[in-house]
Amino acid sequence: RQLIANALALSDSPDTALRTGLRALPAMHGPMGMAAMASATLRDAIKLFARFNNTRTRVFSTRLEEDPDTLTLRLDFAYPQDYAVRFLTESALASAFACHVVLRGQPIEEGAVHFNYPAPDHAALYRQAFSGIEVVFDAPSVALTLPAHYGDEPVPSHDRELLWMAVQQCEARQEALRRHGTVSDQVLA
């Protein structure tokens, strides 16, 4: 919270979180990002992001929802909406968008990004950040929605051996986190 407050105090730009997220490409997400880049298809990459997101943050969890028309990466925040959660909402969705552009190897021209708060005064900057897709405010949840057919597209950087190694690292990290427990568990211990 303090880091976010400091960043907001230093910047007079209302889109600091969006710009930060757009720079957080797959390689910046550690083994989870490497696993996504090595995936065979975009659907496989999204599944890995949803499966291993907890190795990167405990502020929100992710889940993939599929229907015949859409792939939805939904973010469920563990904390109530405030300035810090809003910053993280903007940066996480911008990062998810930017990562999918990189993984596709081409622009995203269909889909939507959903924010669970009213349109801010700088809503036009959201439309610039999420160029090519619809920006929805006052949505029931936080999500990035893509057409289902995107899921079948091959990831240009697919590498089976790298995928196996990256998934092993993610699984080891998840196991270490499970053994370490939550902050509450540590306090109780």
Q: What value does the mean pLDDT of the chain take?
A: 91
Residue 186 has what pLDDT?
64
Cα distance between the two ends of the chain: 25
Residue 176 has what pLDDT?
87
pLDDT, tens digit, 9 for 90 and up, residues 23-78: 999 989 999 999 999 999 999 999 999 999 888 888 888 999 999 999 999 999 98
pLDDT, tens digit, 9 for 90 and up, residues 83-115: 999 999 999 999 999 999 999 999 999 999 999
Q: Do residues 4 and 129 touch, judged by C-beta distance below 8 A?
A: no
Give the rounded percent of residues in the chain with a pLDDT score beyond 90: 75
Alpha-carbon torsion (13, 18, 22, 27), positive or negative: positive
Residue 189 has what pLDDT?
67
pLDDT band (50, 70, 90) for residue 147: very high
- Return the closest-CA partner of residue 92 out of 9, 7, 2, 24: 24
Q: Is the pLDDT of residue 127 over 70?
A: yes
Give the least confident one: 12-21, 147-156, 177-186: 177-186
Residue 130 has what pLDDT?
96
Residue 184, number of CB atoms within 10 A of its CB: 8
pLDDT band (50, 70, 90) for residue 119: very high
Residue 56 has what pLDDT?
82
By 3-state DSSP, what share of the chain in percent is helix, strand and coil, each rounded to 5?
Answer: 55, 15, 30
pTM score of the predicted model:
0.89
